[in-house]
Chain A
């Protein structure tokens, strides 16, 4: 019997989570016929864990996705119920936007965006096989046997591959949020010779908020002034919903300690590798035994539901213990658990098998993005999805892949870390992973990336024009501040003293005035020197003046870094034939096939001396011609 061919597309995306949506939208928007497959159409862009988007480093990722023409920022702006800038006092490099999201509304919104997208078909099916011929992607087969053909395939299966959910002594085959797992695809990947890892993550219980005594909790409101994620979104004004805070008690800790033997993490039932940064509550209590209490947050999951998320109480304890634990928290004495907390184990690939374009080495046209690459988080997933989509499109257009480096974007740090260093736990983005954090800010994501997105073709003319207009305003304002000199008169000196600064004796440029840490931009209007400019323009102007010295230093570092990235290492180099390399370096270099000397230098086991050997090798190669 011959196969039923269900369709032929340029690109097929498997999985419609945060990575899949970005990937499919990118290829479709770039003009390629695309099909996106999901196990369940009602859970597109689902948030099976925390109901928020953004946060430290993650907020920056969302901004970057947006600046490149991605979807996540726009969707978040349309569906948030609370917004907050974190780290406001800690400096511009780490300001991070985070929004609580209406989970169902977000999912419906994303589904609608996909449905409305030109060139995009949405299909519900379980993909069981990857079809490959001569090391080149041909298509997929789904559980019904139907075959679909494509030129490029992007796998964004999240935590569904061979998923199993563990709650106490119970372990069942399942995807997150009680959805179906994908049990067949792992085998297909193994048959293609792809190395799989087994990771573990977890989620806390969900409660009915009617069972919570909020009078005992501390309210955590959103910011008064709402900053959107997307550079396209204008003023935002909504009625925000608060979060609440409570904490674990001595009683909680006692319950956990007494029941540790029933935790699958400790009984050895769970074998997947969990992340150090996201421990379950039992982990926290075992590892930080002297800490008397841990914070717990109650976060709303949407306007249309009473279900709330209990951040900080991730656990895989049995249900009866969970209930006791939850009810030992102040305000939650009568709490009703709607969904218990669980741990989930899943298959992912070893990301070191990927190229920086997110295409896997050795199979033409097969791309991976999101949690299947060993990362965690919606934002990390979206960022990879966007890049995989762009690069699948670049491949079909016969263009160079788009690889952002570590000095251009968090996206670059994320992918470089995964691909070059691999990971042995679910990878979460953190600002401290970025060497050039001061430059990779959320306020200038557009400066860093919008022109690139424009060249790729994802950034619309409208977005580009807005960006250019903003850039011009910034430039003009900086020029004005540099050219305006204030005289050293009484008015100015009174102004200076009023703001805790020191008197001036000669004239001073507005620019130099703003360099003083104590003088804020918005004070200028007091001396008739303010300007009526958009907030985001003022923000960038202030940052670039206040931190000029640091920024210059950072730019110098970036320049040095770039020099190493620009030394390309041709793909065909056989490292085992290079004289003078250490054995370990040979193996690692042959496996990773770094594209530049810079990337090579970040591979563990490749020493500075090996890099020098490569330098000499490159030079002699060049001279041989």
Chain B
């Protein structure tokens, strides 16, 4: 019954940034060989050993990550099947690319809990645990569907449902013609089907592009630290990168050019940009720097506006804020140097007049966590938390969207080639089933692989 090879994440992308991707099934070694370059091929590699190597996309030839790969031959493995585990340091984005690469090379996305299911069905998990396994299935399924629903809330789910509706409309147009040939329903022609399929493909394409870990997560996000001179921008940069990259002095106008540095904030790749303090100046070098700061703001995905709380919120701070508002950029206000303000009253006033602002003291290392949290939160907005489950669900959804798209392309081709309507219908129905797996409108025949439950994969 179990005869395909599945892939999923077995260890969450946690604070360590390490994720472990697991492949299980008869083809595990073959699939791994398609994308892994090490000293040995995976097939040659000795069982129960680890080797170092590179994951290379066999499409783009691009190196995705450097990893450790362990090989375990059945039956002495977690699932009692051939197992490959790939440990990567790359964080969320890399883990997703890695999974997608495996799906493209013949692995099927593992359903939540499927590794455990296989372990049980293959006799690895003891009979005495059967009841516990069954209990967990129900409980976790409920959780998983909750998460899926949450995740699908908003624009993505709306779009998905729209697409489903369109396929259903097209399909029923065809079916009525097939089942009631002599009724005077409007006749659906191949060219009509072709056009409709094309439109749906475009919609699907858009959805696939926007679906999850969008541009921000794939390419990282640009975060600009802005503020008038001497508020502590370079100090914050150094703190966030844990490097002494930017020069810090008590002289306003120290930073004359933008300084960039890459950091990883809770698994999100971030390009941090330290800027020259914004103010009116006659110094031509500084002027250039200010212009660059303004350009940086307009290119930013997110802006940190730093204010020196000990000096209060002054006109120059307002100027910076206005620039950011003018560019319509998401931002966060940080009131730095709280260590200099002794009376609580002032601080409270600030908080009340600028709700959502962060109180910070780089000297005392307060407010930094909160800022990181805010950046991460923005990057992952509408994506709930970046936990394991979300990662897996997203990667699986994407793979299903792609399958649906392929099937629609096949329907489109069939219409173009003048195949008959029944063949077109066959493709459309299959596409609908793929989408149904995302939205939970479940299609009967694929139940064997249907969601077992949200076992945190790999336990």
Contacts and interface: CB of A to CB of B under 8 A. Distances in A.
A579 B420 contact: no
Interface string B412-434: 00000111111101100000000
A90 interface: yes
B103 to A, nearest CB: 18
Interface string B423-448: 10110000000000000001011111
Contact of A580 (B138, B423, B450): B138
Given A87-B178, A616-B137, A438 B120 contact: no
Given A57-B179, A616-B120, A554 B426 contact: yes
A619 interface: yes
Nearest to A245: B182
Contact of A613 (B134, B179, B417): B134
B175 interface: yes
A86 B182 contact: yes
A431 B429 CA distance: 13
B247 interface: no
B448 A560 contact: yes
Query: B123, B184, B417 — which one has the most chain A CB atoms within 10 A of its CB?
Result: B184
A560 B450 CA distance: 13
A615 B117 contact: yes
- Decide if the interface of chain B is mainly helix, strand, loop or mixed: helix
Q: How large is the interface on B (under 10, 10 to 19, 20 to 34, 35 or more residues)?
A: 35 or more
Given A431-B178, A580-B137, A616-B134, A91 B127 contact: no
B183 interface: yes
Interface string A423-467: 000000011100101100000000000000000000000000000
Interface stretch (A469-477, A479-487, A491-499, A604-612): A604-612
A437 B451 CA distance: 27
Given A90-B420, A623-B127, A624-B127, A56 B180 contact: yes
A579 B451 CA distance: 18
B117 A612 contact: yes
Interface in A553-571: 553-554, 557, 560-561, 563-564, 567
B135 A601 contact: no
B141 interface: yes
A523 interface: no
A87 B177 CA distance: 9
B133 interface: yes
A266 interface: no
Contact of A563 (B121, B130, B138, B448): B448
B138 A91 contact: no
Given A564-B447, A616-B133, A90 B177 contact: yes
A215 interface: no
A295 interface: yes
A90 B422 contact: yes
B1 interface: yes
B250 interface: no
Q: How large is the interface on A (under 10, 10 to 19, 20 to 34, 35 or more residues)?
A: 35 or more
Contacts of A563: 1, 448
B175 A609 contact: no
Nearest to B443: A435
A612 B453 contact: yes
Contacts of B419: 91, 517
B181 interface: yes
A435 B421 contact: no
Contact of B130 (A547, A564, A620): A620
Contact of A295 (B123, B133, B182, B425): B182
Contacts of A422: none
B452 interface: yes
Contacts of A612: 117, 137, 450-453
Contacts of B137: 580, 609, 612-613, 616
A13 interface: no
A356 to B, nearest CB: 16
Contacts of B343: none
Interface in B140-172: 141
B416 to A, nearest CB: 10
Contacts of A617: 130, 134
A276 B445 CA distance: 26
Interface in A289-313: 294-295, 297
Interface in A572-625: 578-582, 597-598, 601-602, 607-609, 611-613, 615-617, 619-620, 623-624
A56 B423 contact: no
A607 B181 contact: no
Contacts of B117: 612, 615-616
A616 B130 contact: yes
A620 B117 CA distance: 12
B422 A560 contact: no
Nearest to A617: B134
Given A611-B450, A619-B121, A623-B127, A435 B180 contact: no
B447 A601 contact: yes
Given A580-B137, A616-B120, A609 B452 contact: yes
A390 B148 CA distance: 47
A582 B138 contact: yes
Contact of A608 (B179, B180, B182, B450): B450
B59 interface: no
Interface string B121-139: 1010001001101110110
A45 interface: no
B451 A608 contact: yes
Contacts of A4: none
23 contacts: A56-B178, A90-B177, A90-B181, A91-B423, A93-B420, A93-B422, A295-B183, A430-B179, A437-B422, A517-B418, A553-B426, A564-B445, A579-B131, A580-B134, A580-B137, A582-B138, A608-B447, A609-B452, A611-B447, A612-B450, A616-B130, A616-B133, A619-B121
Given A90-B181, A432-B425, A612-B450, 14 more contacts: A56-B178, A56-B179, A86-B181, A92-B420, A93-B426, A295-B183, A432-B178, A554-B426, A598-B447, A608-B442, A609-B451, A609-B452, A611-B448, A616-B134
Interface of B: 1, 117, 120-121, 123, 127, 130-131, 133-135, 137-138, 141, 175, 177-184, 417-423, 425-426, 442, 444-448, 450-453
